[in-house]
Chains A and B, each alone.
Chain A
Amino acid sequence: MATPRAGEGLERGETLRVQGLDVDYVTEEGVVAAVRDMAFSLRAGEIVGIAGESGCGKSTLAHAVCGLLRPPARIRRGRVELGGQDLVGLSERAMRSIRWERIAIVPQSAMNNLSPVLRVGDQIADAMLAHRPGTRAEAREKARGLLQMVGMSRRHVASYPHELSGGMRQRAVIAMALALNPEVLVLDEPTTALDVIVQAAILGTIRDLRDQFGFAVLLITHDLPLLLQTVDRILVMYGGGLVESGSADGIWRRPRHPYTRALLGAFPPLTGPRARLEAIRGMPPNLLRPPAGCAFAPRCPLAGEACRRQRPPLAVQGDAAAACWRWEAGEGEG
């Protein structure tokens, strides 16, 4: 389970550190504040999950971390440090050599992430050949090994994507992501379109590979229960900002933020007595005109006057943190 090391030297074993990150979408109707004041860090070998509902900014965050934002999205402020080097503001050429070599992403809807007209092995080989010298034959041979590593057959190098199932395509993209042994692997809703059995198998594979190679994983999903059983640490995002972070265990046993609690209540428990599912009332905030106070206040059963007036800061307590006025006041604990 989780091995919380917070409180020790901040730099120790840290590979990725995001600080004060703001991402905007500049649209005709105005500036959408997609990510606000985001901060977290990832240690080598750690699996950190980011949870939140659609539109909370988690995919934007994943793209920002990998330097993949394209207009109209832009980083307004903040740092994304990889091994001490700030990636924000790097030229496209400099970013190109870092991507995949040091930070790789498995994007959303991985089913469609492979070109339909090129062989899987060649698409993996392309990633290797773009960064390292070598022949295509060597790269293909290495691709065979990678496919085997993620639980596929070596002969699938010669397959076209349409010949593979969704789960296998997903595994192929993961094999591709690991081709250059990156320090950080970003998984953006990697298993959304897959059934739970395949989901569990793929995440199991990722954990095994993490144990073997020691890369850090940033796993982004709207599926909080999935994170609870997969990751070491969880960050909960709402309305573009971080509302709670803590060990998976801690969040499961004692969620601090009312949104986290609501999110946990929205999924059925597989064991124990049958309980009525609680849907979260209302709609996610309009980030074109974000609320002045806590972004969750309009939907929060505990919201008070202070919540609507001022945005709560992230209050740290041990290895956990939450941004909630109510929690500080002691009323949020339940």
Chain B
Amino acid sequence: MRYSARYLAKRLGFALLTLYLAATADFLLPRLMGGNPAQALASSTGLASPATVAAITKEFGLSNPNWGYQYGLYLWQLVHGNLGISYEYYPSPVSTILLRALPYTVALVLSATVISFAVGWSLGIIGAWRRGAWVDQLGVGVAFWLYAVPYFWLAMMLVFLFAFLLGWFPMGHALPSSITGLTPWQWVAGAVRHGILPVTSLVLTSTAGHLLLMRNNMLTVLADDYMQLARAKGLKPFSLMFRYAARSAMLPSFTGLMLSLGNVVGGAVVTEIVFSYPGIGLATYNAILSHDYPMIQGAFLMLAVAVVAANLLADLIYPLLDPRVTLH
């Protein structure tokens, strides 16, 4: 093994500390903004009797104004998986709402991330290998164009063209409007049909960056001395391109891949708004609009967990990919 148990423990401890600090910041931020959510909720629902306010205050865990007490309660609930109660969807717990949105977001953003990295890396590798050939020029040209186009515009054009004008795909949402009576197969087919446009929009914008980075790394590696020796050895082009060149060129891109995977649970806010896609991004956006602090807190916390976990995973995988990195 390339890392010791001691390193593992240290790295894990550091990840937990990061999470703790993120959770604490998450606790402080809404409180620094002031206001009384119980009163706000009670008045907005027209039930503003003092008794109701007191009851809601108690339910939100705010009856004791001492931050120390609230902080302890917050952590205690957190450890038990309790993210609090949503103001907006009162009295649904935040965790329920997040867990309902999570599968959609993961399906959407994860597939888009995987596809865009696969396509971007492949085109970057091939482009660098055949530098200046039409496939390279086309790839780089399109990549720069996509890079320059604002994402929301691209997404809206996709909706306009393929959903509104041509009617090939639904205009939005994740599932057909009536899902009762659908066979599992029809359900999956419906979900895929709804997913194609948003996934395509995400792939189109994010592929460019992966392509350009991979192509650059690849060009650097191809100019390295060891590539010439590998060629002189009489290796076949496939082996040269992947085993020797791409193998080294992917190292800087790998970190980007892992970070993107961590961000998957954060959702894709603009995508979800444009396509009315019921994921975490849309839920967070709505929560911000309606000052639903527990929801925001919950979404942020989930994102923090995912990013820290992805970082940890990246750190553990990296030494296996690059033998020069050893961790103690």
Contact = CB atoms under 8 A, between A and B. Distances in A.
A and B part of one assembly: yes
Interface of A: 66, 68, 96-101, 104-105, 107-109, 112-119, 123, 126-127, 130-131, 160, 162, 173, 176
A176 B233 contact: yes
Interface stretch (B28-36, B65-73, B82-90, B224-232): B224-232
B225 A112 contact: yes
Nearest to B251: A117
Contacts of A105: 229, 232
A100 B248 contact: no
Contact of A162 (B244, B321, B323): B323
A50 B13 CA distance: 60
A80 to B, nearest CB: 15
B80 interface: no
A160 B324 contact: yes
B236 A117 contact: no
Contacts of B321: 117
Nearest to B236: A130
A107 to B, nearest CB: 6
A105 B232 CA distance: 7
Contacts of B248: 115-117
Interface in B231-259: 231-236, 239, 243-244, 247-248, 251
A68 B232 contact: yes
A91 B179 CA distance: 62
A115 B243 CA distance: 10
Contacts of B235: 96, 126-127, 130
Contact of B224 (A66, A112, A118, A126): A112
B11 to A, nearest CB: 22
Contacts of A99: 232-234
A66 B228 CA distance: 12
Interface of B: 224-226, 228-236, 239, 243-244, 247-248, 251, 321-324
A185 to B, nearest CB: 12
Contact of B324 (A97, A112, A116): A116
Nearest to A112: B225
Contacts of B243: 118, 126
B291 to A, nearest CB: 51
28 contacts: A96-B235, A96-B236, A97-B234, A99-B232, A104-B232, A105-B229, A112-B224, A113-B228, A114-B229, A115-B230, A115-B244, A116-B322, A117-B247, A117-B248, A118-B243, A118-B244, A118-B247, A119-B323, A123-B230, A126-B230, A127-B233, A127-B234, A127-B235, A130-B233, A130-B234, A130-B236, A131-B234, A160-B323
Given A114-B226, A115-B248, A66 B323 contact: no
Given A96-B234, A99-B232, A99-B234, 14 more contacts: A66-B232, A96-B236, A100-B232, A100-B233, A107-B232, A113-B228, A113-B229, A115-B247, A116-B323, A117-B321, A127-B235, A130-B234, A160-B324, A173-B229
A107 B229 CA distance: 7
Contacts of A113: 225-226, 228-229
Contacts of A126: 230, 233, 235, 239, 243
A96, A97, A105, A114: residue with the most chain B Cβ atoms closer than 10 Å = A96
A105 B229 CA distance: 8
A131 B228 CA distance: 17
Contacts of A118: 243-244, 247
Closest 5 CB pairs of A and B: A112-B225, A127-B233, A160-B323, A113-B229, A100-B234
A68 B236 contact: no
A119 B247 CA distance: 13
Contacts of B236: 96, 130
A54 to B, nearest CB: 17
Nearest to A159: B323
A126 B238 CA distance: 12
Nearest to A103: B232
A68 B228 contact: yes
Contacts of A96: 234-236
Nearest to A131: B234
B234 A101 contact: yes
B125 to A, nearest CB: 16
A113 B224 CA distance: 8
A108 B224 CA distance: 12
B227 to A, nearest CB: 8
B175 to A, nearest CB: 45
Given A115-B230, A116-B248, A107 B225 contact: yes
Nearest to B231: A68
A105 B235 CA distance: 14
Contacts of A130: 233-236, 239
Contacts of B229: 105, 107, 113-114, 173, 176
A97 B233 CA distance: 9
Nearest to A173: B229
A97 B235 CA distance: 9
B65 to A, nearest CB: 58
Nearest to A100: B234
Contacts of A104: 232
